[in-house]
Amino acid sequence: MNHTIDEQVIALSGIFQAAALVHQIAQTSRYDKPLLESSISSLFVTNPNTTVEVYKGIDGVQLGLETIQQILQKDTDQKNIEVIRYALSLIHLESKLRRKPDMLNIIGSRIDQASVQAEHFSLLHENVIHNLASLYMDTISTFNLRVQVTGKPEYLKISHNAALIRATLLAGIRAAILWRQTGGRRWNLLFKRRSIEASVKRQLSECSQSF
């Protein structure tokens, strides 16, 4: 089934949004709550009718779209260098996970359990986040390659921040799976740059504006 470049960009934005949120948490111990909720909630959208439905609309990946736009405009400050590294690591980890169907089944089963928990509490409730973080540690963290998160030690030592980072990385893996499902490949990042840039600009223009 053919997918549009806009669908691929939505999924790619999900990856970069997760990466940017991880950077926020690690460096400042703060995060954009609505966008973190959008990323975490994507884990529980298992049978969407459209790609954008995974994030409940374009606004749900606004940070990811903005991050991609900055990078394409060659705004490669230290923050974006770290975000790019996280995003590429997530794409690589997804390729490893794809070859482990048993692990995928475990992840699917435990996400179903976490979904019930999120309905009882809330998306960002401590119990839900620590459950998702535990799932990440039991599965993705067992690979030889791990995402090396750089941040301020005083923030990284906070157990809830560590759990938030792992849960957000899991959401990034989910976005990487979606990106592949929509036809995304690593070479797209090089050879479809103009198409990606046009799609990002177009979709950002559709995001809600705050004044």
Cβ-based burial of 191 (10 A; exposed 0-12, middle 13-18, buried ≥19): exposed
pLDDT tens for residues 109-166?
999 999 999 999 999 999 999 999 999 999 999 999 999 999 999 999 999 999 999 9
Residue 137 in any domain: the answer is yes
Mean residue pLDDT of the chain comes to: 94
* pLDDT > 80? residue 75: no
User: How many structural domains does the chain have?
Assistant: 1
Mean pLDDT score, 10-39: 97
- Residue 46's domain is classified under what CATH number? 1.10.3890.10
Residue 179 in any domain: the answer is yes
pLDDT tens for residues 60-70?
999 999 999 99
CB 58 within 8 A of CB 9: no
How many whole angstroms separate alpha carbon 126 and alpha carbon 4? 37
Question: Residue 145, SS3?
Answer: coil
DSSP 173-195: HHHHHHHHHTT--TTHHHHTHHH
Residue 109 in any domain: the answer is yes
Residue 175 in any domain: the answer is yes
Scanning the chain, the segments in alpha helix (DSSP H) are 5-28, 33-42, 62-72, 78-97, 101-120, 126-138, 153-156, 159-181, 188-191, 193-204
Q: Token digits for 160?
A: 């809830």
Q: Token digits for 171?
A: 């959401």
Residue 154 in any domain: the answer is yes
Residue 122 in any domain: the answer is yes
Residue 211 in any domain: the answer is no
Domain that holds residue 180: 5-204
Please state, as a whole number, how many other Cβ atoms lie within 10 Å of the Cβ of residue 55.
26
Residue 209 in any domain: the answer is no
CB 7 within 8 A of CB 182: yes
Which amino acid, one-letter code, is at 91?
Answer: I
For the whole model, what pTM was predicted? 0.95
| Total length of the chain | 211
